[in-house]
Amino acid sequence: MKRLIAKHVLITGASRGLGRQLALDFSREGAAALALCARNADALQAVKREINEIAPDSNVIAIEADMSRTADIERLFAVALSEFHGRLDVLINNASALGPAPMPLLLDYPLEAFQTVLNTNLVGPYLTIREALPAMFDQGGSIINVTSDAGIVGYPGWGAYGVSKFGLEGLSQTWAAELAETHVRVNWVDPGSMNTAMHRAAEPGEDPKQWADPADVTEVFIYLASDESEGVNGQRFEAQKFNRAERHRAAAS
């Protein structure tokens, strides 16, 4: 059964890795409309073509945008909401910047790079949520932020990326608390170690074969985007541990 029928969805960082896989799987689950954004327009168009092969009737728009830039975020939502006639059911804040690779210690971290990572990974999601809320207040909506275990443990060498994810955890908790009396829910997902270009750049000495394929971690996102998770708010999920028992636990919390 397709679980995302009639859903209008916006996914940031959708040109590769987890974002690309989410776009493909959401289209398979029947999403009515998808707005996909990333900095690489060519890669984004390639994802759009893949979706058109899977679901020829899907309404897919590809928007080149940099989540570290306020003007790009404002333009992204202006285009998406115009195309969606003001409707938005699901926002997935997936776009992330790693920063310099190999990642330097904080003492040696270039200030400009530090600021860019925080703008992309923390300020960007704050702004996208703020832009999305007016379209969600009336009919409700699901906001899903992509976090990391580097946001709960201060690993040496993970620098601005780790700091930004610590911030995103707090941002998610605060938005969830402030929106608790509305029909908008905010949850966040740690996808775990995945075989993506970003993770390979972060840990070039490791064997990527030991990491999960992005296709193996999208189930929790589909759950949180669907009506099945109605009422689930303010929770942190580990995608690689998500199963039926976890689904029932979340619904009961």
pLDDT in tens, the chain (253 residues): 799 999 999 999 999 999 999 999 999 999 999 999 999 999 999 999 999 998 888 899 999 999 999 999 999 999 999 999 999 999 999 999 999 988 899 999 999 999 999 999 999 999 999 999 999 999 999 999 999 999 999 999 899 999 999 999 999 999 999 999 999 999 999 998 766 767 687 667 767 677 788 899 999 999 999 999 999 999 999 999 997 667 777 777 7
Which residues, at least 6 apart from 228, have a Cβ–Cβ distance to it below 8 Å?
3, 247
Point out which residues pair with 63 in neighbouring strands: 37
How many C-beta atoms lie closer than 10 Å to residue 137's C-beta?
13
Residues catalogued as catalytic:
161
Closest alpha carbon to 163 in 209, 74, 103, 92: 103
User: What is 8-252's CATH superfamily?
Assistant: NAD(P)-binding Rossmann-like Domain (3.40.50.720)
What residue ranges do the domains of the chain occupy? 8-252
pTM: 0.94
Closest CA to 204 of 59, 70, 103: 103
Written as one letter, the residue type at 160 is: A
Query: How far is Cα 79 from Cα 225, in angstroms, rounded to an integer?
Result: 21
Distance, in Å, from the CA atom of 171 to the CA atom of 168, rounded to the nearest integer, reads: 5
